[in-house]
Amino acid sequence: MPESPAPVVGVLALQGDVREHLRMVTAAGGIGREVKVPADLDTIHALIIPGGESTTIGRLARLYGMIEPLRKHIRAGLPTFGTCAGMIFLASGVTEGAQPQLGVLDMVVERNAFGRQNESFECDLAVEGWEETIHAVFIRAPIVSSTGPDVEVMARHDSRPVLVRDGDILASSFHPELTGDLRLHRMLLAMADKP
C-alpha cells in the first residue's frame, strides 16, 4: 500500500508563537504552513491557532478578512487546535468585555484568570483516556467558565477545564508547543487523516 502523504497543517500566522507550532507539526510528521490570508485555508488539512494575545489575533484576523473564512472552514470540519489565546479566539464568549471571536467552540472563557502571582506556572495533568500525564505550561492562561453540552472536557486543573474537544476542534489553555510533547499535535494530525 502506498503511504498516504503527510497532512498539511496551517498555523494562523498573525501574531503569537507560530514558529514553535510549525516546529511541532514537522516533528509530529506533518507539513507546516503559515496561514495569513483566506486563500491559504484552501491548501491545508488542519489548522492551529497559536497562543499570543487574543485581542491582537482577533483584530488582525478582522483586518485580513479572515474571520468569516475561518468560521466557514472550521464549521465545515477543518480539524483545528487552539492553544491559550487560540482557545479564546475559538470560543463563543469572554466573561468581560467583547473582542473578535470565531464562536465555533461553545464555551465562555475568563482571560488571564489564574491570578497575578500565578500568571505563569507549570504542572502535570491527567488527561482522559491517557496513561501518562502531560506536562502543562500556563502563561497568563484563560479559565474555561462554562461549556456547552457537546464540549468534552479532557483535562482539568483545580477542577477547571483546561483541555477540551468538540468534534474536530481541540483547545488547551496551556502551551504544548513549548514542551516538545507531541501527543496533542499527533491527535490533530490523526483528525486530519481520517476519511
Residues that bind ligand GLN (CB under 6 A): 51-54, 84-85, 88, 111-112, 139-140
Q: Does residue 39 sit in helix, strand or coil?
A: helix
**How far out from the chain centre does Cα 91 lie?**
10
Residue 51 vs 69, nearer CB to ligand GLN:
51
Decide if 123 is catalytic: no
DSSP codes of every residue in 43-78:
G-SEEEE-SS-HHHHHHHHHHTT-HHHHHHHHHTT-
Decide if 175 is catalytic: yes
Which position has the grid cell 483541555?
163
Exactly one of 45, 73, 177, 185 is catalytic; which is it? 177
Residue 20 vs 168, nearer CB to ligand GLN:
20
Exactly one of 21, 73, 175, 185 is catalytic; which is it? 175
Decide if 177 is catalytic: yes
Q: Alpha carbon of 36 to those of 47, 62, 65, 100: distances in Å?
A: 12, 11, 10, 17
DSSP state of 80: E
Distance separating the N- and C-terminal Cα atoms of the chain: 16
- The least CB distance from residue 180 to ligand GLN, in Å, is 17
- The least CB distance from residue 144 to ligand GLN, in Å, is 13
- The least CB distance from residue 134 to ligand GLN, in Å, is 17
Residue 35 vs 85, nearer CB to ligand GLN:
85
Residue 70 vs 192, nearer CB to ligand GLN:
70
- The least CB distance from residue 17 to ligand GLN, in Å, is 8
Exactly one of 20, 84, 157, 185 is catalytic; which is it? 84
Which position has the grid cell 498516504?
4
Nearest to 184 by CA among 3, 5, 44, 46: 46
- The least CB distance from residue 4 to ligand GLN, in Å, is 33
Beta pairing class for 152-157 and 160-166? antiparallel
Residue 22 vs 88, nearer CB to ligand GLN:
88
Which residues are the active-site residues?
84, 175, 177
